[in-house]
Structure 1
Amino acid sequence: MRLSSALLACGLLVAAASAASADSRVFIVANQADGYGVDECLAQGHKCGAHAARAFCQSREFAQATTYRRVEPDELTATVPNGGGERCLGPSCGEYVAITCQR
């Protein structure tokens, strides 16, 4: 009886943790130089980008940013416009940052 109660409690905790972590979203945003270095902090995953990433998530009604990093050009799909019919690979192409927000 005790063992089954303990297993049930563990199962409920796992289910609750899964439901809580399931409410997250990845945002792909343009990484534009602003003169303050925030773009480099976000793109390089430095600690200085944590505040900017958290503010970004909170502005979209999420509680926190769990990760933020530069997105490599080969990770992008055709859904990101590059101004023409070809894939953008040169230095004039914009850089993007992925920010994962969680409720």
Structure 2
Amino acid sequence: MRSLMACLFFLALAASGAAQAETRVFIIANEGDGYGVDQCLAKGDKCGAHAALSYCRSRDFAEASSYRRVDPDEITGSVPKAAAKCPRGGCNEYVAITCQR
């Protein structure tokens, strides 16, 4: 009886773990490509949805749940802010894309 209860417990635990989606946030450099996709991603506009989805799928995730511009201080604090240390806007902006399996 005890082994049956233990087996049921582990099955329930495994089922609850399988129901939870794996989520990962990718931080990428937001480099202008001339097509405006970088601005769609950075602003979180609807036009960036396909690019974010393609990024997630290329890493074996099923969907992109969000995407937005990330302030360099949000990352590690070691990335310089564009206005402070980058002449003429030469530094990259960064985008966070949240992917789920």
Output the TM-score relative to the length of structure 2: 0.72
Aligned to 2:95: 97
The share of aligned pairs that are identical, in percent, is 60
Question: Runs of 5+ in structure 1 lacking a partner?
Answer: 1-11, 81-86
Aligned to 2:20: 20
Question: Runs of 5+ in structure 2 lacking a partner?
Answer: 1-11, 83-88
**Which one has a larger percent helix, Structure 1 or Structure 2?**
2
Q: How far, CA to CA, are the matches of 2:19 and 2:92 in structure 1? A: 35
Q: CA deviation at 1:89?
A: 1.8
Q: How far, CA to CA, are the matches of 1:60 and 1:18 in structure 2? A: 19
Return the letter of the residue paired with 1:44.
Answer: K
**SS of corresponding position for 1:57:** helix
When the two chains are superposed, the root-mean-square deviation of aligned CA atoms in Å is: 2.1
Output the TM-score relative to the length of structure 1: 0.70
**SS of corresponding position for 1:52:** helix
Q: CA deviation at 1:18?
A: 8.2
Aligned to 1:34: 33
